[in-house]
Amino acid sequence: KAGVTQTPRYLIKTRGQQVTLSCSPISGHRSVSWYQQTPGQGLQFLFEYFSETQRNKGNFPGRFSGRQFSNSRSEMNVSTLELGDSALYLCASSLGGQGGTYGYTFGSGTRLTVV
Amino acid sequence: SQQGEEDPQALSIQEGENATMNCSYKTSINNLQWYRQNSGRGLVHLILIRSNEREKHSGRLRVTLDTSKKSSSLLITASRAADTASYFCATGQGGSEKLVFGKGTKLTVNP
């Protein structure tokens, strides 16, 4: 079966712009989580959605937002981009919303560069 | 904030040798998971060990967990060049889907 699909793979944006990243989870997976990975801070949790509801949120400013659709696909949005937002953004899905208990399947990520 | 701290930060070995990576964490956990990442790509789930388990095996992987010391180790036996990657431990606290990752161990297996 298809894995977790993230689009686009690479993105270059200018400071002040906004960006939307997309994630399609494995078919049947209802939970989608987002992580930011940078060389300095490592992997940090952004938020998690289950059945279109945000269940958990990490310590990121309000410029970072997300949503989940009825087909479980998720998008995350970053507004007013800053240079420090340059990172690899990873999406992960889990069956039954228990990835914290059974493990996650990650997508290949979206590499965002802010110039 | 980082919970898991992997040790060493980098490890270089020859093919056929065993590789051991350690992870320490700070708070009580529900489970501990190990992931592999190849060159800035997505993470691959390797193995999960629950807080009431002490050891788990999967193929060439062996994971141990010592909750009294808040530490875990990942052993890869008979390493191959294809094992070259970064390895991360992540803790699940239960009741939350959030995983807290360590900074990872970069493993290089030389042919």
**Confidence class for position B1, pLDDT limits 50, 70, 90:** very low
- Subunit contact A106:B93, Cβ cutoff 8 A: no
Span A56-75, average pLDDT: 96
> Is the Cβ of B42 closer than 8 Å to some Cβ of chain A?
yes
B107 or B39: which leads in pLDDT: B107
The beta-carbon neighbor of A106 closest among B31, B42, B94 is B42
> Is the Cβ of A48 closer than 8 Å to some Cβ of chain B?
yes
- pLDDT at A101 > cutoff 90: no
B76, B84 Cβ separation under 8 angstroms: no
Q: Which residues of A touch B35 (CB under 8 A)?
A: 106
Q: Which residues of B touch A92 (CB under 8 A)?
A: 43
- pLDDT score of B39: 86
Instruction: Tell me the nearest-neighbour CA distance from A83 into chain B, angstroms.
Output: 19
Instruction: Tell me the nearest-neighbour CA distance from B44 into chain A, angstroms.
Output: 7
Q: Which residues of A touch B104 (CB under 8 A)?
A: 42
pLDDT 10s digits, B2-55: 566 788 999 999 999 999 999 999 988 888 999 999 987 889 999 999 999 999
- pLDDT at B105 > cutoff 70: yes
Q: A85 in helix, strand or coil?
A: helix
Neighbours of B57 (CB within 10 A): 11
- pLDDT score of B27: 87
| Token reading at B24 | 């320490």
What percent of chain A is predicted at pLDDT more than 70?
94
Element (H, E) at B43: strand B43-50
